[in-house]
Amino acid sequence: MKKILLLLFLFIQTFIFSQEKWDIQFYNEVVSNEVFIYADNREEMPISAQFAFKLSNLTCTLPNDEIVVIPPKAKKFLIAKLAPIKANEANSFSYTNSYNFGNALQESFDEKYIYSLPFAKGKTQSIFQGYDGIFSHQNEFALDFDLKTGSEIMAARDGIVVVVINNNSQSCPDISCAKYNNKIVIMHSDGTFADYSHLEYYGAIVKKGDYVKKDQLIGYSGSTGFASGPHLHFAVFINRIDGKRTFIKTKFKTSESKATLLEEGKSYTKNY
């Protein structure tokens, strides 16, 4: 008689956006003497997951610590198959996993894309902290636009809204307040994400799952979270499994240039 003993231990961590719980489920099914591990990803974006297995008398199709990218809206996506080595002996398994949003394996992106300035037509705004800024942008390609509270924020690029955090009112000039950032995150067609942060209390006018067009109004600026005053924090990035981000320098269309990198201390006008 074949004997199979299955033990499952599941430990999940989300490394970034602690306010957000990604709508993804991992589960297993036993068919005969094999175990199939699946994922249902109900998000509009891919989710990357990393597994570490402890196996007894079992083989696994997924090597330990290999990253699996689960497509958006995927149902019963196969993560791994476990099969017994010796059919007539007991076996067991356990695993830990961690996951994060986006394709953590992505390296390429549309390097030629020209972004729109993320504020209203006819406005001139300065950059008071640029790439590698000394206050909060060390080793980070991010831009802080000097927008007053209640200023219109426009989408810099087409995409799908994948995160909206809208209900915070606290702020302070310390990293401990980053958890209070009101923000909108938009996924672009090349798999990159744009982060629009420090929106005012309930300042977002889009919701998760919305498709937005470039130059569409998406919300209103504020000073929530890790901020010393009102502004818009804007950054484009590729997400990694450990919560780190690969930031991307972005060129913008301005009244003076068809495509330019924005610099700290300079002002730019949007005439389109």
**Same domain, residue pair 74 and 185:** no
Per-residue pLDDT tens over the stretch 159-209: 999 999 999 998 888 888 888 999 999 999 999 999 999 999 999 999 999
Q: Which two tokens stand for residue 89?
A: 């002996």
Quickly tell me which residue has 């569409």 as its tokens: 216
- Indicate if the pLDDT at residue 131 is higher than 90: no
Distance CA 197, CA 181 (A): 6
Parallel, antiparallel or unpaired: strands 245-248 and 58-60? unpaired
Listed residues 69, 101, 133: the one ending a domain: 101
Q: Would the pTM count as exceeding 0.85?
A: yes
Domain boundary among 101, 124, 148: 101
Q: How far is CA 215 from CA 48, 102, 158, 186, 219, in A?
A: 30, 24, 8, 13, 12
**51 phi and psi, to 5 degrees?**
-120, 150
**Domain end marker among 57, 72, 101:** 101
HSE at residue 20, side-chain half, CA atoms within 13 A, is 22
- Output DSSP code: residue 42: -
Confidence at residue 138, expressed as pLDDT on a 0 to 100 scale: 60
In a domain, 4, yes or no: no
183 domain-assigned: yes
Extract the tokens encoding 32: 């005969």
φ/ψ (deg, to 5) at 173: -85, 45
* 218/154 Cα distance (integer angstroms): 6
Show the domain range for 251: 114-269
119 and 62 fall within a common domain: no
Q: What is the pLDDT of residues 230-267, one digit of tens each?
A: 999 999 999 999 889 999 999 999 999 999 999 999 99
Instruction: Tell me, yes or no, whether 3 lies in a domain.
Output: no
Tally Cβ neighbours within 10 Å of residue 52.
Answer: 14
CA distances from 56 to 53, 92, 222, 266 (A): 10, 5, 54, 62
Residue 217 pLDDT more than 80?
yes
54, part of any domain: yes
The CATH number of the domain holding residue 60 is 2.60.40
Taking only the tens place, the pLDDT of each residue in 134-143 is 665 567 798 9
| Domain count for the chain | 2
Cα separation, 46 vs 26, in Å, equals 14
Q: Is residue 177 classed as helix, strand or coil in its secondary structure?
A: helix
Q: What is the CATH number of the domain that holds 239?
A: 2.70.70.10
Q: Does residue 107 sit within a domain?
A: no
Residue 159 shares a structural domain with residue 28: no
CA separation, residue 151 to residues 5, 55, 121, 170, 208 (Å): 61, 56, 12, 19, 21
Residue 179 corresponds to which amino acid? Answer: K
Q: What one-character DSSP code corresponds to residue 148? A: P
